[in-house]
């Protein structure tokens, strides 16, 4: 029992069970208050503008209450487990509330549309009740999603953050030996890429849609190649094309030296990722870059953004490489 309580939000569980039940009870009470003004049997399905199927009042009320409890509870219960992200729990709490109220609204519109009729064949769903209830259901669901406070508990992310904080306290230089930055081409390059591809794609949309889509995809791929994420820490240098495709991963112990330079992309084969012989480069533009010499004779070149960031990155790479050589290549946190 203790493990179960530790894995669920008890307050959310109470609401997930209690709210649909209370809503179903309220529906039943209101339905019985209208019972004397309703025909028997009631219309429950319409086809081509006329009532097609009918059911006794008791069945309509009972099945309706059961639908409120089952559908609303099934959605609300998704917000109970603490293992799920807080954002997902908020969304499911709001969706469950909206669903419960919407089902109740539909049932109420069915009943109100038949009040005062002698024969249910003349019945129609009350559009006013359906419209106002649907709007209120959606609005209250959105409000619930914002005001619901997901119960925060200690997680593996907190363990990782605690370990990193302790490592920084034990080794104050750890923060100095880490750098992460994004580099990208100049804005004028993206403008010209858009003019060269997206404008023709827009003109081709009506005539040749597939070619327009192909040009747009090529434009996005080209723009992604002009972005890169660079990460340096005591484990070494890692470079990610487009921010997530790892194209370079050099252990700190394998680095001989790192030098900031002002280079021309054409000298390394052009923009983007290039691999020629013993030289590997990922350059998003000409200008400030860091040239890394490996102990196996290979050379790497990566864009460094500005001259200041390139100089700082070269210093960090040199420092972690020297540290790795002193410790025999042992990785540090």
Tell which residue, 77, 101, 79, has the closest CA to residue 90: 79
Q: CA-CA distance, 142 to 192, in Å (whole number)?
A: 42
Q: 278: which DSSP letter?
A: T
Q: CA-CA distance, 29 to 8, in Å (whole number)?
A: 32
Determine the angle formed by the axes of helices 10-33 and 86-112, rounding to 10 degrees.
0
Provide the pLDDT for residue 331.
46
Beta-bridged to residue 248, according to DSSP, are 239
pTM across the whole model:
0.52
Using the predicted structure, report yes or no on whether residue 289 has a pLDDT greater than 70: yes
Q: What is the mean pLDDT of residues 191-209?
A: 80
Using the predicted structure, report yes or no on whether residue 49 has a pLDDT greater than 50: yes
**Is residue 215 within 8 Å of 201, Cβ to Cβ?**
yes
- Domains of the chain in sequence order: 2-147 (no CATH), 162-185+226-326 (2.30.29.30)
Q: 252: which DSSP letter?
A: G
Upper half-sphere CA count for residue 185 (Cβ side, 13 Å): 23
Where do the DSSP E strands lie in 137-269?
Answer: 179-184, 227-233, 236-241, 245-251, 255-263
Percentage of residues in the chain with pLDDT exceeding 70?
A: 92
Q: What is the mean pLDDT of residues 254-271?
A: 90
CA–CA–CA angle 202, 244, 176 (5° rounding): 130
Using the predicted structure, report yes or no on whether residue 101 has a pLDDT greater than 80: yes
Provide the pLDDT for residue 88.
86
Provide the pLDDT for residue 230.
93
Provide the pLDDT for residue 153.
61
Q: CA-CA distance, 316 to 302, in Å (whole number)?
A: 14
Percentage of residues in the chain with pLDDT exceeding 90?
A: 23
């Amino acid at each position: 029992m203790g493990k179960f309580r530790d894995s669920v939000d008890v307050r959310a569980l109470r609401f997930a069970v209690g709210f649909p039940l209370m809503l179903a009870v309220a529906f039943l009470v209101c339905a019985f208050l209208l019972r004397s003004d309703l025909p028997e049997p009631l219309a429950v399905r319409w086809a081509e503008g006329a009532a097609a199927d009918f059911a006794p009042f008791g069945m309509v009320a009972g099945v309706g209450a059961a639908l409120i409890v089952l559908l609303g509870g099934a959605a609300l219960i998704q917000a109970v487990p603490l293992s799920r992200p807080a954002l997902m729990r908020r969304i499911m709490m709001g969706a469950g509330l909206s669903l419960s109220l919407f089902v109740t609204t539909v049932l109420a519109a069915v009943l109100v549309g038949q009040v005062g009729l002698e024969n249910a064949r003349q019945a129609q769903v009350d559009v006013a009740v359906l419209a106002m209830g649907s709007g209120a259901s959606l609005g209250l669901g959105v409000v619930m999603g914002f005001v619901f406070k997901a119960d925060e508990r200690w997680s593996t992310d907190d363990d990782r953050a605690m370990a990193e904080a302790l490592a920084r306290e034990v080794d104050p230089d750890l923060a100095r030996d880490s750098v992460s930055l994004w580099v990208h081409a100049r804005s004028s390059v993206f403008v010209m890429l858009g003019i060269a591809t997206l404008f023709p794609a827009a003109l081709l949309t009506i005539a040749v849609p597939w070619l327009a889509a192909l040009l747009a995809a090529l434009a996005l791929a080209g723009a992604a190649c002009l972005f890169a994420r660079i990460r340096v820490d005591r484990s070494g240098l890692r470079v990610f094309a487009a921010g997530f495709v790892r194209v370079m991963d050099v252990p700190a112990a394998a680095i001989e030296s790192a030098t900031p330079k002002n280079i021309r992309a054409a000298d390394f084969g052009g923009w983007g990722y290039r691999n020629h012989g013993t030289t590997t480069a990922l350059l998003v533009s000409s200008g400030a870059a860091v040239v890394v010499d490996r102990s196996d004779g290979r050379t790497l070149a990566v864009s460094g953004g500005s001259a200041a960031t390139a100089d700082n990155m070269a210093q960090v790479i040199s420092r972690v490489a020297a540290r790795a050589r002193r410790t025999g290549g042992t990785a540090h946190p």
